[in-house]
Structure 1
Amino acid sequence: MIDPWTLTDGAATARAEFTETFGGEPDGVWSAPGRVNLIGEHTDYNGGLCLPIALPHRTFVALRARGDGGLGLVSGRESGVWSGELAAVGPGAVEGWPAYPAGVAWALAQEGVPVPGFDAAVASCVPYGAGLSSSAALESAFAVAIADGVGAAWPGPDPSGPDQDAGRAMLARACVRAENEVAGAPTGGMDQAASLRCADGHALLLDCRDGSTRQVPFDLAAADLELLVIDTRAEHALVDGQYAQRRATCEAAAEALEVPTLREIDPAGLVAALAALTDDVSRRRVRHVVSEIARVTDFVALLDAGRIRDVGPLMDASHESLRVDYEVSCAELDVAVEAARAAGALGARMTGGGFGGSAIALIEAGSAQSVADAVTAAFASAGFTAPEFLIATPSGPADRVA
């Protein structure tokens, strides 16, 4: 199992990387979590509902402001030090992983935040390329670090004050701009909202039409359950065109149906909406989005009723819809889901954007190793690279840790 770092160990690792690279001490260390989405996939950019939790696995950023407008970035996962000028950052101007933190600085500056230059070191235990939002964790850690550093000069609601959720919603929007416009990944806003706005012990019901949220209790331990995350090691990438293609198809379908987003299609009117579309691909994409939003509503209703053990069939149906109608699964994800179910999972599904990445399985407490062994054996039989596993417990949002 991939265990999360403690806050103390993560902060010490980032601080040591900073000191070795830049000398002296950082102004502080901030961290932000990765996420898994319980249900509600590819709904965020369609104005829909989704239900993520924050992982205990986090990205740590040690940062020190500098007065010359320069940027220096180093990561324990990457080679070399990236240097640039804040004034030169913008769409298409930065490549690779530095586009994410530099993009956050650019996006916040666009919102009127007096962003200083800075040096920063990154350390992370969020698995890379696993569909667990390592990029959003990176962005969010920088966002809270910059917001803290600005202090009283911060415009709008304080992300650490009494109206912090509104301030964190602003940070999330900036992180989305960074990912969309500077890093070039056409994601929706779920990942950043989860990293910045989740609460310990809860799932975040996010309404992507208006940005509103509700914290939904998600107490796995009380139900003698665990959530196993299966990293298939089939690396996914959101900048290879497949994700953007799905988004473009949905936006074109919404335009054809004369609605702002697919969220406006009531499930009761789905048959009529599908009949109004002219091609089968659009019909299948729309069918997934509308039915997935309905599954989120049903999932939350079960949690509100204390029936967490009954959500498994919704997870199974979500995966089938993603596999058949949205066509974002892959052989590794399907094998992981099928093997977990055969080993006793109450429900299982892919999570994240797809085309690789991770699956989740709702399992009996104490059965993680036996389910993991069954999935590993199924991967070996299929000739796939051995998967990796972690236990997801609903955790807290981005914040200062040292």
Structure 2
Amino acid sequence: MTTPRPSPSGAGLTAAPVGVGTAHAKTILIGEHAVVYGAPAIALPVHGLTTRAELHVGGPWALDCDLHHGTVDDAPAAMAPVTTAWQQAVQQVSSTATGHSDPAVPPHLTGRPHLTGRLSVTSEIPMQRGLGSSAAVAAAVVDAVATASGVPLGLAERTELVQRSEMIAHGKASGIDTAAVLSNVPILFEQGAISPVAVGGRFVFVVADTGIPSSTATAVGGVRSLREAQPGLVNGLVDRLSELTRVVAGCLQQGDLDTLGAAMNEAHESLNRLGVGSDGLDRLVTAARRAGALGAKLTGGGLGGCVVALSRAEDVDEVLDGLHAAGAGGTWTTTVEGSA
């Protein structure tokens, strides 16, 4: 990975020929949907699924990714979150370096000459699966621009830039995906506030893909409609999911696998009652539990997407086999543990 180099004068940083940024996926352990109504949620990093962005400095602005190979001007509307992250990262590094926003950076990305070039983005993170794919791409792009420019950006600046991209990608984004892909540890997200979750043991999670896209906007809209029709039901479920999130935070801190698994199972049933479950999700949840998982639930928006299961380390292979036999389109493991 290219790192910023000191300028010959030692007065600052100078551009590198290639800027590289990487980011990982995330999964919501508990609290999805309830977080929309101010309840807490806990998200985990999924380090085994990554996105990589490379900015090759020199030449006209161009993109090279699965959805587009060509100039930025010819990019489809679906690339707007990526071009926004790129454009605003250029503006941010210019502002950071000079103390004011660079007037030579108009919306179509003709900006600082040393940052023109080709942006290449590759991602292992499946789209529309609740794994934070769009946020991870934006994070990788922002970091690639920062590295290429030689101007380091702090966490607050990176968070703001990624969140702007997420607002374009999703219309309205809570911020949990942004926070999670930028964190290497589990986080508690509550009404915009982010804090690391203490971990007092070793927890192995398996994420499995139904192979069916998940639309967060559709799922959130469905819960909103249900709340308008049955406010008592939805508010009660949100309150219970909030309580379960507090329980899970305590389990992580205490190393309590059994209680954590039970909380995940109950959360899945609550999410089904909110109307965001599906036959595919239930099939994988059942398969994980039968194969030895201590708990399993849908993760993210629901109506498709992925499930997350908690497994004892010695049972992981059996859980993976059970999920594959049940038709999982892809499986990944992620481990969180406290420092010794």
Q: Specify the TM-score bucket, using the shorter chain as the normaliser.
A: 0.7 to 0.9
> What does the per-residue CA deviation read over 1:251-299, in whole Å, with 9 as the maximum and x for residues that have no partner?
xx7xxxxxxxxxxxxxxxxxxxxxxxx631x443333333222211111
1:213 aligns to 2:195 (yes or no): yes
1:40 aligned partner, one-letter code: G
Q: Retained in 1: the 8 A contact 2:201–2:253?
A: no
Q: Of 27, 37, 41, which aligns to 1:50?
A: 41
- Give the corresponding residue for 2:13: none
Partner Cα distance (1:368, 1:292) in 2: 26
Partner residue in 1 for 2:288: 340
Contact 1:186–1:244 (CA<8 Å) still a contact in 2? Answer: no
SS in 2 for 1:311: helix
Helix, strand or coil: the match of 1:64?
A: strand
The match for 2:320 is 372
1:59 to 26, 33, 51: 51
Paired with 2:58 and 2:240, the residues of 1 have a C-alpha distance of 49
RMSD: 3.1
| d(CA) in 1 for partners of 2:72, 2:253 | 49
8 Å Cα contact 1:38/1:53 also seen in 2 = yes
Q: How many correspondences in the alignment?
A: 305
The answer to whether the Cα contact below 8 Å between 1:44 and 1:189 also exists between their aligned partners in 2 is no
Distance in 2 of aligned mates of 1:118 and 1:216: 42
Deviation of 1:219 after TM superposition, in Å, equals: 4.1
Distance 1:291 1:172, change over 3 A: farther
1:187 aligns with 2:186: no
Query: How do 1:10-159 and structure 2 match up within 5 A?
Result: 27-56=18-47, 57-65=49-57, 71-75=61-65, 78=66, 80-85=68-73, 95-96=77-78, 98-108=79-89, 114=102, 116=111, 117-152=116-151, 158-159=153-154
How far apart are 1:178 and its partner, in Å? 1.6
Instruction: Name the residue aligned to 2:9.
Output: none
Give 1:188 shift: 1.8
Which one-letter code corresponds to 2:163 in the other structure? V
TM-score by length of 1: 0.67
AA aligned opposite 1:174: L
Shift in Å at residue 94 of structure 1?
5.2
- Residue 375 to residue 244, structure 1, CA distance change in 2 (3 Å): closer
2:271 is matched with: 322
Residues 199 and 255 in structure 2, CA contact (< 8 A), matched pair in contact too? no
Aligned to 1:399: none
Amino acid at match of 1:194: A
Moved more, 305-314 or 211-220: 211-220
Query: What is the CA–CA distance in structure 2 between the aligned matches of 1:42 and 1:29, rounded to whole Å?
Result: 34
Rate the CA distance shift 1:226–1:214 in 2: closer, same or farther, 3 A. Answer: closer
Which whole-Å CA distance do the structure 2 matches of 1:173 and 1:80 have between them? Answer: 25
* TM-score, length-scaled by structure 2: 0.78
Q: Which residue of 2 aligns with 1:204?
A: 187
Return the alpha-carbon distance in structure 2 between the equivalents of residues 246 and 26 of structure 1: 48
Instruction: Pick closer, same or farther for the CA change 1:110–1:288 going to 2, 3 Å.
Output: farther
Percent pairwise identity: 26
Name the CA distance, whole Å, in 1 between partners of 2:234 and 2:332: 31
> Structure 1: where are the runs of 5+ without partners?
1-7, 12-24, 160-167, 254-277, 380-384, 396-402
Q: Alignment partner for residue 330 of structure 2, among 373, 385, 388?
A: 388
Residue 121 of structure 1 and its aligned partner are, at CA, apart by 0.6
CA distance in 1, matches of 2:132, 2:299: 11
Deviation at 1:55, TM superposition (A): 1.2
Give the Cα separation in 2 of the matches to 1:151 and 1:315: 44
Higher strand share: 2
Q: Output the CA distance in 2 between the equivalents of 1:350 and 1:218.
A: 24
Structure 1 pair 246/394, CA: closer, same or farther in 2 (3 Å)?
A: farther
The counterpart of 1:299, out of the listed 243, 248, 251, is 248
